[in-house]
Chain A
Amino acid sequence: MNFFNSQLSTLNPQLPKWLPLGLLLAVLLIFPIIIEGTSYAYLSRMAGLVGLYALLALGLNFTLGYVGLFDLGYIAFYAIGAYTAAILSINGYSFLASTFAAIVVSVFVRLLVGVTILRLRGDYLAIVTMGFGEITRIVFNNWDSLTNGPKGLPSVGESIRPVKILGMTLVTNTHYYYLIAASVILTILVSQRLENSRLGRAWVAIREDEVAAELTGLAVARLKLGAFVISAVFAGLAGSIFAHWERFVTPESFVFWESILLISMIVTGGMGSIRGVILGAVLLGGVPQLLQAALVGSRFIDYRYFFFGLVLVLAVLFRPQGLWPSKRRQVEILETEYVN
């Protein structure tokens, strides 16, 4: 047997481990250029939207995934980022300045909210974050003098200027695809570094058993607040990119459903698993859009959400730990108790 094995391995030298990932990255890097100008060009816009979802889901992964905070109002900080950036851009500020401001405002509001509500537990936290998300949306919807109400920004006669960065002006969907791709990669790197740091391990300890974490000397309240605030950075960034790309923001883009969608991406992909969260964003954010594009004109187009729901249920029933869970979580013992 050994003989055969060694024979096989010399005949089939192992492919280097980085190869699949490298190939995937290469494809993701060049496909928008190849399809530009063809009838498939809409795919780069779609990929950009999926990228935004990935960015948001990775941001929410800090609270929901690592710490296990049940955060139903994350989309509010995306909205705050988008509106901040839109208002500044309309008033003539550059992309970098308005993005920076968007992140600062999101983080600041998130900090205020976090300090007030993070001592609530579990589902009480869920309902309060949901309430905060809805309050934010309704305020944007009703505060006509600042946000132009349901009609959205910019108002007639104003405009959000396209992104100018490193001497280039970003105009097409492909340009924004690359901007978003760069942001996603940056977010992945930050997530990875944090995940394998003292901080990341402390977060996971809180998720697995808050009391035990506290008893080992972790400053649970501060750690929770830290994750809560860090996650707002990515919401602010994504909001600013969204506002500059669409050059139009309305409260309609920030409904409760979007928060639910982000949570579904994380749980379906695998809580706290970077690759899983991205897979979730691609599946739940991308596939419905692909179906929509593929089914245009067919009567099956109305069925796509029905099947979306079905797939969501089946995915969770068959893989409650997520489609692609993190190694760390795979080795953890599944909770067997009914939570007391």
Chain B
Amino acid sequence: MFIEQLFNGLVLGSIYSLIALGYTLVYGILMMINFAHSEVLMVGAFVGLAAYTLLAPPAGGWVALVLVLLVAMTASGLLGIVIEKLAYRPLRQAARLAPLISAIGVSIILSNAVFLWVSNQLLSFPKVVPEQSISLGFMKIGSLQILIFFTSLILMAVLHFMVQKTKMGKAMRACADDLTTSGLMGIDVNKVIAFTFLIGGALAGAAGVLNGMYYGSIKYNLGFLPGVKAFTAAVLGGIGNIAGAVLGGFLLGILEVMAAGYLPNGSQWKDVFAFVVLIGVLLIRPSGILGERIAEKI
């Protein structure tokens, strides 16, 4: 029972981690909360559903899953770039709250665009790959959960490789360290930022599809809750820190599942529990679990 719950927490947490990575990547470079990220996730889920509806009959099962993920990730990634270019780039020199407001505006636009021109109903999301329950002797797990968990892990591994081993990843790390100096050293800062939004958006798109498969349905306003939770996870781990986002996501997922399972009236109070833990952690470590202590600018 406990181990099953733990695994459930890891599965939920892996979705949070994927979303949290998008927040943390952008934050690491621009010091900005990308409020529209949750709607990029939502759009990814809808594009994934559309892709499945168009592709599934000829190519079922695993091929369909990979295709659906790729299409959703591409769409969300491109959407991320477009948002950055139109709504954030013009405000890069402005005071800090200005891009936040335009992000809020973009997220209202996106969710209402889907509401108006796609569907205002709860749409059922297919499992894509046939589901079965696997017994490991001491625990039973669903194939869907395994699939979500390992898809997320693979994506995280790809991200890790990209950030640590490629030239673009090196440029991203440099920009996260010091954007202005990176620009002076000949790094095309705009390209790096666009790339960051591409990656973050793509991860959100994948998370949107996985989230849809996990809950079995999607709606135009689905992005908000996982968005807020994932942002919480990113802060919990130490925003701007990639490992922190992953750790925070898993922690939050496990906390939520455990609180719902073991506390009295747990499912009502699980969100309170998550926020209380967040506040507690931040009071002890003001920049998150893995966040470096930012030197005060003196």
Contact = CB atoms under 8 A, between A and B. Distances in A.
A131 B179 contact: no
B185 to A, nearest CB: 15
Contact of A263 (B90, B92, B101, B231): B101
In the A-B complex, the 7 residue pairs with the smallest Cβ-Cβ separation, listed nearest first, are A309-B108, A312-B105, A313-B105, A131-B275, A320-B94, A309-B109, A306-B112
A316 interface: yes
B101 A316 contact: yes
Query: Considering residues B95, B232, B296, which has the most beta carbons from chain A within 10 angstroms of its beta carbon?
Result: B95
A7 interface: no
A233 interface: no
Interface of B: 27, 30-31, 33, 87, 90-102, 104-110, 112-113, 115-116, 178-180, 228, 231-232, 235, 239, 265, 268-269, 271-272, 275-276, 278-279, 282-283, 286-288, 294, 296-298
B93 A334 contact: yes
B171 to A, nearest CB: 16
B286 A119 contact: yes
A338 interface: yes
Contacts of B94: 320-321, 334-335
Interface of B is mostly: helix
Contacts of A130: 228
A321 to B, nearest CB: 7
A338 B265 CA distance: 45
A66 to B, nearest CB: 13
Given A127-B231, A309-B112, A317-B87, A267 B271 contact: no
Contacts of B90: 317
A121 B109 contact: no
B98 A320 contact: yes
A336 interface: yes
Contact of B101 (A126, A135, A267, A338): A267
Contact of B33 (A123, A309, A340): A123
A313 B107 CA distance: 10
A310 B276 contact: no
Contacts of B105: 264, 309-313, 316
A128 B100 contact: no
A158 interface: no
A188 B297 CA distance: 35
A335 B95 contact: yes
B92 A338 contact: yes
B91 to A, nearest CB: 6
Given A119-B286, A131-B232, A302-B116, A267 B272 contact: no
A128 B98 contact: no
A119 B283 CA distance: 9
Interface in A289-318: 302-303, 305-306, 308-313, 316-317
B227 to A, nearest CB: 11
B97 A267 contact: yes
A35 interface: no
B51 to A, nearest CB: 25
30 contacts: A70-B97, A121-B294, A127-B235, A132-B275, A134-B271, A135-B276, A139-B272, A141-B268, A142-B265, A211-B296, A263-B97, A264-B101, A264-B104, A267-B98, A268-B101, A302-B115, A305-B112, A306-B112, A309-B106, A313-B87, A316-B91, A317-B87, A317-B90, A317-B91, A334-B93, A335-B94, A338-B92, A338-B180, A339-B31, A339-B96
Contacts of B33: 123, 126
Contact of A306 (B96, B102, B109): B109
Contacts of A306: 108-109, 112-113, 115-116
B96 A335 contact: yes
A151 to B, nearest CB: 15
A289 to B, nearest CB: 16
B91 A320 contact: yes
Given A126-B33, A271-B97, A316-B102, A142 B108 contact: no
B278 A131 contact: yes
A124 interface: yes
B235 A310 contact: no
Interface in A126-161: 126-128, 130-132, 134-135, 138-139, 141-142
A138 B109 contact: no
Contacts of A142: 265, 268-269
A306 B283 CA distance: 38
A213 B233 CA distance: 32
A313 B105 CA distance: 5
B7 to A, nearest CB: 26
Contact of A131 (B91, B239, B279): B279
A305 B283 contact: no
Contacts of A311: 105
A176 to B, nearest CB: 29
Nearest to B270: A138
A211 B30 CA distance: 21
A143 to B, nearest CB: 10
Given A131-B279, A303-B116, A310 B109 contact: yes
B31 A312 contact: no
